[in-house]
Structure 1
């Protein structure tokens, strides 16, 4: 069954960048570790295709997948040289696309929107070749950051329930590690992004399919 959030459309446009600038440097750092130039990448939850196009310009063979009608429409119109498919991050949906296994799956700022994050993790794992790598990011939540939000009076705004289709899962390093380990990923590596340590905006995690 597809994740219910897959039916929500974020009304993407060319003006809304999919991946925030502070994620690009650590993402590329993780990508370049043990990854051959020109390898095949699946951008899982590609939004308007901005990150897919950026990776394509760097010489990678990229395929973008997203459930959003508007996102895929913008991506295809803006970046016709990259292949884009409309589908949710669910195992059955990705299998139906009949895409060959990828060397790398990247999924930035996606899992926090998923009602069923295990489907997302399983879909990523199943899309990789043996030895392939997974790199994901999600907003960081840890003790010191959450404490600072509470003391500043900004906790309610940060965890707002009024954002239609917004963040519905809030991950810490241990919970994201558990999710990816449960899916079968090994050799997990953590990296914070944005702000200073322990108050990061987001966190990235890379793993490998054995």
Structure 2
């Protein structure tokens, strides 16, 4: 993972992340009682929803801040702290579910992550996931890049947004067969008068760390927000120009 989370703010102000994850669950074709690993479970909101559907759920995340909230809110679910690119489970599971996780993994570590997942599954087990796809938040990233250039800096978002054609071979190399894939636009409403700047503060913290102080980081985020206003502000609301890649493999 390429970020340290403000877990409380993530839970309170960016709940759309797990709400959109509910749609990904529809790709799971499992009987009640099946074992599911929620990889990159964050605050456990989707782990709890999977459990409500009758699955036996284990949540896994690398963030102690997120896991602290998950364990407090959902004491009946087991949560493990581990790196998605290097983990093992005591017993194989029927499915691995991951929402808004894989784009945080460095491209060179994607193969090892997928091999770990394949090894964690029972024969014929399912991997169902959604991640940022090619072009995700393109307007916001372009505005940040221009703002960094203005300051004599290079902007590196440290995320991985592949195409279907770019990601399917990685899955196949890990042993999977791709059963479903779609790349789609999903404009996502943001909250607050400075929705884009707040989004940048939450999700681009690593990139912003090269700036000297919090005031300068906020200034840069607001400048980028101003640059995308014509594209991403309408009817009194801010939107993020999300593009999502949703896939299922066995």
TM-score interval for Structure 1 and Structure 2 normalised by the shorter chain: 0.7 to 0.9
Do the aligned residues in 1 keep the contact of 2:172 with 2:178 (CA within 8 Å)?
no
96, 103, 109: which one pairs with 2:94? 103
Matched, 1:173 2:164: yes
Q: CA separation in 2, counterparts of 1:171 and 1:135?
A: 16
Aligned length: 186
104, 112, 126: which one pairs with 1:119? 112
Q: CA separation in 2, counterparts of 1:18 and 1:63?
A: 22
Structure number with higher helix proportion: 2
Q: CA separation in 2, counterparts of 1:60 and 1:203?
A: 24
**Which residue of 1 is the match for residue 38 of structure 2?**
43
Q: CA separation in 2, counterparts of 1:173 and 1:104?
A: 21
What TM-score results when the alignment is normalised by the length of structure 2?
0.65
Which structure 2 residue ranges, 5 or more long, are not aligned? 188-240
The 5-angstrom pairing of residues 122-133 of structure 1 reads 122-133=115-126
The runs of at least 4 aligned residues of structure 1 exceeding 6 Å deviation read 158-162
170, 183, 204: which one pairs with 2:246? 204
Matched, 1:57 2:55: no
Q: Root-mean-square deviation (CA), in Å? A: 3.0
What TM-score results when the alignment is normalised by the length of structure 1?
0.76
Inter-CA distance 166–10: structure 2 relative to 1 (3 Å threshold):
farther
Which structure 1 residue ranges, 5 or more long, are not aligned? none
For residue 96 of structure 2, give the secondary structure of its aligned residue in structure 1: strand
Larger radius of gyration: 2
Matched, 1:137 2:130: yes
**Which residue of 1 is the match for residue 177 of structure 2?**
186
